[in-house]
Amino acid sequence: MKTNLKLALTTALAAGLALPAAADISPRTISISNGVAETHPVGNGVAAMKECIDERTGGAWTVNAFWSSALGDDLAATQALRSGTQEMVITSTSPLVGIEPALGVFDLPFLFADEAEADAILDGDFGQFISDKMPERGLINLAWWENGFRNLTNSVRPVTSLEDFDGMRVRVMQNNIFLDTFQALGTNATPMAFGEVFTALETRAIDAQENPFVTIDTSQFYEVQDYLSATRHAYTPFMVLFSGPIWNGYSEEEQAILVECAEVGRDVQRAVSRELSGQSLDNVMAAGMQFNEIDPGEMTRIREAVAGVYERHAESIGPDVVQRMMEELEALRGEQ
């Protein structure tokens, strides 16, 4: 991980980011909130971003990162940004659909086929289209990072068919699309903040949760879960958000530093996330979790069971947003 971080950062700085601090760069202290542990690849991204900021500002800025929801859950931290009492949060899009409904498009089940599709959409026109919606919500999206494809863990049974979901008490993120998706699969879906999940699994208040392999590993869910099934039912990105009110007090050069360094962090974070995904799967299996793939025929049945989620939530997301996403995916896949 350290090698990847150094290589990516060296490449970025060699491309021209390592410029001396200018007269319109003021001393700043920036707090960054994260819901994940520092061992998550977000930690590598933050380290790269901090080093880039130090280079660009000549050490004029102090960047302090807080982990595992130490400053509150992602939604609370994001509200602090909107009020101008905190500078940054790195958060999944899913808890924020109440702030910006268009973010719900990323929660639609089985939206992206692979990471390459996700990168092309997020780093292209559609990603900018969504980012452009955030300032009116008091937020600035500096870059899209990766949470990744989500998979189901539980303490009841391996999920090998649609019927295996039936009656399972599954923690889902706090938005209606995930709730509807898992209800459509026959589960008893329970919205819950991420910071509460481990204890709820440990006490058997819930049976299951769903997250990418790396998050399952770094959150040590293998201590309280027995089964891991490769559902890959959703890909959720991270947003690197900055406070709109505070942003407005920064110079253009300072704003450019934030964007450029968040993109440096993005490249490192994604690379480490993808490298560690397979390693994390090996780790949780070594810790005792039972892993299974799902037969393609059963995956077709699962996809069919949740197909109605698109139509039911198009109005709340924004019909234009869903249509634009599907058109861009079709163009990307050469289907037009």
pLDDT per residue rounded down to tens, the chain (336 residues) = 444 544 545 454 444 444 444 558 999 999 999 999 898 999 999 999 999 999 999 999 999 999 999 999 899 999 999 999 999 999 999 889 999 999 999 999 999 999 999 999 999 999 999 999 999 999 999 999 999 999 999 999 999 999 999 999 999 988 899 999 999 999 999 999 888 999 999 999 999 999 999 999 989 999 999 999 999 999 989 999 999 999 999 999 999 999 999 999 999 999 999 999 999 999 999 999 999 999 999 999 999 999 999 999 999 999 999 999 999 999 999 964
Pairing relationship of beta strands 28-34 and 61-66 according to DSSP bridges: parallel
At residue 55, the 3 state secondary structure works out as helix
Pairing between strand 61-66 and 227-229?
Answer: unpaired
pLDDT at 12: 47
**Under DSSP, is residue 53 helix (H, G, I), strand (E, B) or coil?**
helix
Q: What is the pLDDT of residue 7?
A: 52
SS3 content of the chain, % helix, strand, coil (to 5): 50, 20, 30
**Domains delineated in the chain:** 2-147+237-276 (3.40.190.170), 151-234+279-310 (3.40.190.170)
Token output for 94:
């899913």
Q: What are phi and psi of 88, to 5 degrees?
A: -140, 155
CA 111/CA 3 separation, integer angstroms: 32
**Encoding tokens for residue 216?**
């399952």
How far is residue 25 CA from its own chain's centroid? 30
Q: What does DSSP say about strands 235-243 and 139-149: parallel, antiparallel, or unpaired?
A: antiparallel
Q: What is the pLDDT of residue 174?
A: 81
> What confidence score (pLDDT) does residue 37 get?
86
Residue 23's pLDDT is what? 59
pLDDT of residue 175: 84
pLDDT of residue 173: 85
